Amino acid sequence: MPSLGPDMESARVVEWLVKPGDAVRRGDVIVVVETDKGAIEIEVFEDAVVEALVAPLDTELAVGAVLARLRTKGESEHQASPDTPKAQALPVAPAPAFRPEPPSVSTARLDAGAPRGATDSGHQRASPAARKRAADLGLDLATLHGSGPGGAVLLADLAGLGGVSRGRRAGGFDAAAMRRVIGTAMARAKREIPHYYLGQQISMAAALDWLGRANENRSVEARLLPAALLLRAVGLALTKAPSLNGYYEDGAFRAGEGIHVGWAVALRGGGLVAPAIHDVDKLNIDALMSALRDVVARARRGGLRRSEMVDATVTVTSLGERGADTVQPIIHPPQVAMIGFGRIVERPWAVAGQVQVQPVIGVSLAADHRVSDGHLGSQFLSEIERLLNAPESL
Amino acid sequence: MNEQQIRAMVADALAEIAPEVDVGAVDDSSDLRQALDLDSMDFLNLVIALSQRTGCQIPEADYPKLYNLKNMAAYFAD
């Protein structure tokens, strides 16, 4: 069981996407686990053949517990057989928060449980909330009829079953558990990170003008949102401010390998998750827009991947069109900076001695004083302003 | 397209964008973005879904005509 964040202690396997004998390639999603942040897809880190699915379904497992045994190229079947005392943990990508524990504690218990549903060809899709509620009620999802996309079971489908009342607008996850996770991370941030905060108002006139013209020639599917421009500007500006991109761990700063921006997504029913969009500085505006749409959609319906949960080197929150004007972000440890955008709003704006009405956005930076200073932070915000005023360069 | 059909189409589209919202509870003149807490990404996805279902390319300038179910019905009636 890989760690999906510094505060994660355990999770439950809810769905296997492979069975013994399957060949898997690095990056394939092989299992879905239910965490306090919803259902997360776990990718395999190397090419291998599945030897055995060890973890039983719907059982709380500690981080470090063995999920499955894989045979990598060159390993004989005997080496990786279940009789070998040295059971191999599911190899996952190295991540700052991943500290595997010896699997010995839980191995015996795990082996006792037959991997139910492992050979099921089709799995029942379900929203995380529905999955959780069904588990609470002891209902087997496979026996339920879903009304969601692809026959997915939604919370509403469980109404009336096991005495559940039809609750509208329920979140797609365990809101109380997520609140605890957020609380723990933010308390640690406030306790350990000496934040400094900077803010700047930036005219969005040039950016929105460019965006409007760009969208005129685009099909509906290819249209851009201001968020894509903001994300692009942050990615490019971070290439010039590497001390805002990375981690503070064990008393030292470690620069991020790549600029992977955690994009804060508000979830219905409360709570948020900030999945990583990888290599933001290397993606063009269209690729970024697609990545944003994809990651927001999967954050909401519970299909995020492990790498997206642990890879972010910095976080951006954009409050959107009905948000507040400004935000003072709280850094997500062990990261060292967070950038916040308020809503875009029309304001009087002085240009060459004249007052005009222009769309304006408030951008703010919270950064870790153990790693950088306000001077660098100011340069970073100025660079974002420069980029947004030259949108054709984005 | 009448309002009944519009409602069914919007509910169908939103099932993939915001599965837990209930279009049935929204009155035909309230702003869908506020009533269903749709952000600009949700709204864009809704426009895309409506465009695909109706075969109509919806220019960005027309987005305000899609903010409530009543105007939406009028828009797609044409």
In a domain, residue A324? The reply is: yes
Question: According to the model, what pLDDT value does residue A225 have?
Answer: 96
Mind telling me how many Å the CA of A246 is from chain B's nearest CA?
28
Residue A163 has pLDDT above 70, yes or no: no
What mean pLDDT comes out for the span B5-26?
84
Residue ranges of A 272-301 with Cβ closer than 8 A to chain B = 292-293, 296-297, 300-301
Q: Which residues of B touch A223 (CB under 8 A)?
A: 44, 60
Q: What is the pLDDT of residue A160?
A: 52
Q: Are residues A385 and A257 in the same domain?
A: yes
Number of domains in chain B: 1
Most confident by average pLDDT, A108-117, A124-133, A158-167, A205-214: A205-214
Read off the amino acid at residue A68: A
Q: For position A61, which CATH number holds?
A: 2.40.50.100
Say what the pLDDT of residue A165 is: 31
Report the pLDDT value the prediction gives residue A121, as an integer from 0 to 100.
Answer: 39
- pLDDT score at A113: 32
Q: Check pLDDT > 50 for residue A276.
A: yes
Closest to A169 (Cβ–Cβ): which among B20, B45, B57?
B20
Are A322 and B33 an interchain contact pair (Cβ–Cβ within 8 Å)? yes
Tell me which DSSP letter residue A275 carries.
P
List the structure tokens of A262: 């955690």
Both A389 and A270 in one domain: the answer is yes
pTM here?
0.73
A106 and A204 assigned to the same domain = no
A172 touches chain B (CB under 8 A): yes
Q: CB of A276 within 8 A of CB of A292?
A: no
Range of the domain at A156: 128-163
Whether A225 and B18 lie within 8 Å, measured CB to CB:
no
Residues A146 and A246 in one domain: no
Mutate: best of A169, A208, A220, A289, partner B, most B CBs <10 A:
A220
CB distance A148–B15 less than 8 Å? yes
Question: Are residues B58 and A220, on separate chains, in Cβ contact within 8 Å?
Answer: yes
Nearest C-alpha neighbor of A140 from the set A126, A160, A121 = A126
- Does one domain contain both A203 and A155? no
Q: How does residue A147 score in pLDDT terms, banded at 50, 70 and 90?
A: low
Name the residue of chain B whose CA is nearest to A222's CA. B48
Substitution target in B16, B39, B46 with the highest count of A β-carbons within 10 Å is B39
- Name A266's bridge partners: A272
What range defines the domain where residue B66 resides?
A: 3-77
- Is residue B17 over pLDDT 60? yes
Q: Is the ipTM of this complex over 0.95?
A: no
A341, A204: one domain: yes
Out of B18, B34, B60, the one facing A215 most closely (by C-beta) is B60
- Give me the phi and psi of B71, to 5 degrees please: -65, -35
Per-residue pLDDT reduced to its tens digit, A217-261: 899 999 999 999 999 999 999 999 999 999 999 999 999 999 999
Residue with tokens 């009304």: A147
Residue range B25-47, pLDDT digits in tens: 888 899 999 898 888 998 999 99
State whether A69 and A200 are in the same domain.
no
Highest mean pLDDT among A1-10, A270-279, A356-365, B40-49: A356-365
Q: Give A342-352 pLDDT, tens digit per residue.
A: 999 999 999 99
> Which residues in A lie closer than 8 A to residue B22 (C-beta atoms)?
168-169
